Amino acid sequence: MTTQTALREDDHRSAIGRVETRSERMGPARVAAMAAVLDLDDAPVEGGALPPGWHWLFFNPAVRRSELGSDGHPRRGGFLPDVALPRRMWAGGRLRYHAPVPVGAQAEKTSEILDVVSKSGRAGNLVFVTVRHSIAVGGALCIEEEQDIVYREAPAPDAPKPSPSAAPANADRSVEVVPDPVLLFRYSALTWNGHRIHYDHPYATGEEGYPDLVVHGPLIATLLQGFAAESRPDERLVEFTFRGMAPLFVGQSFKLESAPGQDGKLDLWARGPDGELAMKAEAAFGTGVAP
């Protein structure tokens, strides 16, 4: 692993251009475990294509326990900017699938910080970090991804809760998901996600002010990608964009829904238990073997 461009403590924008590279085998055992977590009948076999979103199982650093922060995330610093704000959230992203990633292949992921923007508003101080990831196998580019990471202040105890928008009412396909504690725990374990809001109820409610354990944003995005692929089995998912809009919580069923979009694309969203828009997404398709 290599890292370039030092970060000055007084200027988060100095992190722009920082690069990190990781290499990992797309192990069939972990892929089979993911299929079990999602309760799928079949797991992709070695040599088969890694399903969309499943690359998030890999390239996650196994950080020592002594190097974790109080929230379960790795302590600030390292590759990402050393932002002092206490809350960190993966808010959304944009993915482009150029070619399948074969299960069992040795893949290389290169990450680069594209931008760091500080803002201040009604929600307090915010820092937005945009990271680009490229995944290649044998030197051939397979996946390009941009992630939007947001750092923010902890809200005041008496701060009013934001009112979520209503989910679209024009769905032509819908499927229900019931996120139980075991699903959240197993997904956290598979992705090396130590953030305590997903498995530690006293922390999630007492420290971060949520009413219950929080469903992972990447898990919802993975489910939406699988839902999109099932909608058009004869086409290949080539682009997927998503944005988290409101949190979903353990034990409360939500729905994955879709409707035809513009220019042949598919609009997708996660509808919360009260009809709220929890995540919105858009998928584009091409011909050929689906990844």
28-61 per-position pLDDT tens digit:
999 999 999 999 999 999 999 999 999 999 999 8
pLDDT in tens, 182-232: 999 999 999 999 999 999 999 999 999 899 999 999 999 999 999 999 999
Point out the least confidently predicted range of 81-90, 92-101, 168-177, 220-229.
Answer: 81-90
Label residue 2 by pLDDT band (50, 70, 90).
very low
Which pair of tokens denotes residue 151?
A: 């750092």
pLDDT at 82: 82
Helix (H, G, I), strand (E, B) or coil at 270: strand
2 is a domain residue: no
Helix (H, G, I), strand (E, B) or coil at 62: coil
pLDDT in tens, 73-89: 887 767 888 888 878 88
Label residue 288 by pLDDT band (50, 70, 90).
low
pLDDT at position 5 over 60: no
Mean pLDDT of 142-171: 87
4 is a domain residue: no
Label residue 291 by pLDDT band (50, 70, 90).
very low
Buried b or exposed e, range 28-59, using 16+ CB within 10 angstroms: bebbbbbbebbeeeebbeeebbbbbbbbbbbb
Query: What is the rounded CA–CA span in Å between residue 17 and residue 81?
Result: 11
Query: What is the rounded CA–CA span in Å between residue 132 and residue 125?
Result: 23
6 is a domain residue: no
- Whole-angstrom CA distances from 212 to 123, 164, 207 are 22, 17, 11
pLDDT at position 6 over 70: no
Domain containing residue 233: CATH number:
3.10.129.10
pLDDT at position 276 over 90: yes
233 is a domain residue: yes
For residue 151, list its beta bridge partners. Answer: 88, 127
235 is a domain residue: yes
Helix (H, G, I), strand (E, B) or coil at 278: strand
253 is a domain residue: yes
7 is a domain residue: no
**What are the backbone angles phi and psi of residue 134, rounded to the nearest 5°?**
-130, 130
Other beta carbons within 10 angstroms of residue 77's beta carbon come to 12
Residue with the larger pLDDT of the pair 70 and 219: 219
Count of structural domains within the chain: 1
Which pair of tokens denotes residue 130?
A: 């945009």
| DSSP-derived secondary structure for 176-191 | EE---HHHHHHHHHHT
pLDDT at position 10 over 60: no
Residue 219 domain boundaries:
12-286
pLDDT in tens, 115-141: 999 888 776 788 999 999 999 999 999
Helix (H, G, I), strand (E, B) or coil at 198: helix
Burial group, residue 272, by CB count within 10 angstroms (0-12, 13-18, 19+): buried
In the numeric block, the tokens 């953030």 are attached to 195
5 is a domain residue: no
Query: What is the rounded CA–CA span in Å between residue 151 and residue 7?
Result: 17
